[in-house]
Amino acid sequence: MSAYFQNTILPGAKPADVSEAICRSLAAEGYEQETGRLLFDCQDLLHEKRLFVLWNEKSCVVLQNNGVEDAGKLRSALGDFPLVMQLWAKDGGWGYRLEEVGRPIAYYSSKPGLEAPDENLADNPNALAGFAAACGVPRDVDRLRRIERTRYFFNQKPCAEFAEALNIPVAVLAFHELDQANAGIAGEQSALGWKCRVLAFKKCQSSRALQACMVR
C-alpha cells in the first residue's frame, strides 16, 4: 500500500542532526550518499532512496519517496529525538503516530485497520497537548481534537488542517510534488519561510551483490 503522503515532523529539531541520523541509518543498510545533481536512473528505483529535509526556526519535516514502507525504519533512525510524529494519509483514511524518544505515546487513525500500531495505545490527550506545545501552539489542542472527530470525504483535507493547526502547513506536501519542484538540485533552497535540502542515496555495489546472492 502506498501513502498519498507520509510526513515525519520533529518540533525543535535541528536539520543537521536530523540529516546526520538519517545518513547514519542508511549507511548501516549499505547505502552511500549521492552528491551533485541528484537525478536518478528510473530503471534502478529499488536501489535508490531520496528524502527531503525541510525546516524553519521551529520545526523540521522529513518527506520520503518510499511512502509507508520505510516509515518504521525512519522512526527507528530518529529514535533519539524528543518528539517525532508521522502524519499519513492513504486508502481513504488518515492519522498519525507520535513517539517520545523512540517510545510510542499516541496514535490516531480515522479508519480502523489502517496503520495499526505495534502496541495497544490508549487515547492519550496529554501526549497530543505536549506535542502542540512543542510546536508552539499549545492552545490549538481543541482544534486538533475537532479535526479528529470530523468526517471528511477527502483525507487530504484533515491532514492539511491538522498540520496547519500545528503551524506546519508545509508538512502536507507530497513527496512527488516537492521532487518535481526540486528538479534534482542538491543545494539548500528557501521558500515561504522554509528551507529545504534533498538527501539522496544509492545502494553500494557490494551490498547489491550480496543481496542478489541471498535472493538466489
Residue 137 φ/ψ, nearest 5 degrees: -130, 60
Lookup result for grid cell 486508502: 91
SS3 55: strand
Grid coordinates representing 199 are 538527501
- Predicted structure pTM score: 0.85
Lowest-confidence pick of 22-26, 68-72, 148-152? 68-72
* Separation CA 147–CA 179 (nearest Å): 29
pLDDT at 212: 42
pLDDT at 176: 73
CB 180 within 8 A of CB 198: no
Helices marked H in the chain — which ranges? 15-28, 71-77, 125-134, 141-149, 156-165, 175-182, 205-215
Residues 184-216 pLDDT 10s: 666 788 877 899 988 888 888 765 544 443 334
Lookup result for grid cell 527531503: 52
Residues 130-141 pLDDT 10s: 999 999 999 999
Residues 31-87 pLDDT 10s: 998 876 555 554 455 678 888 899 999 999 998 865 556 788 899 999 999 999 999
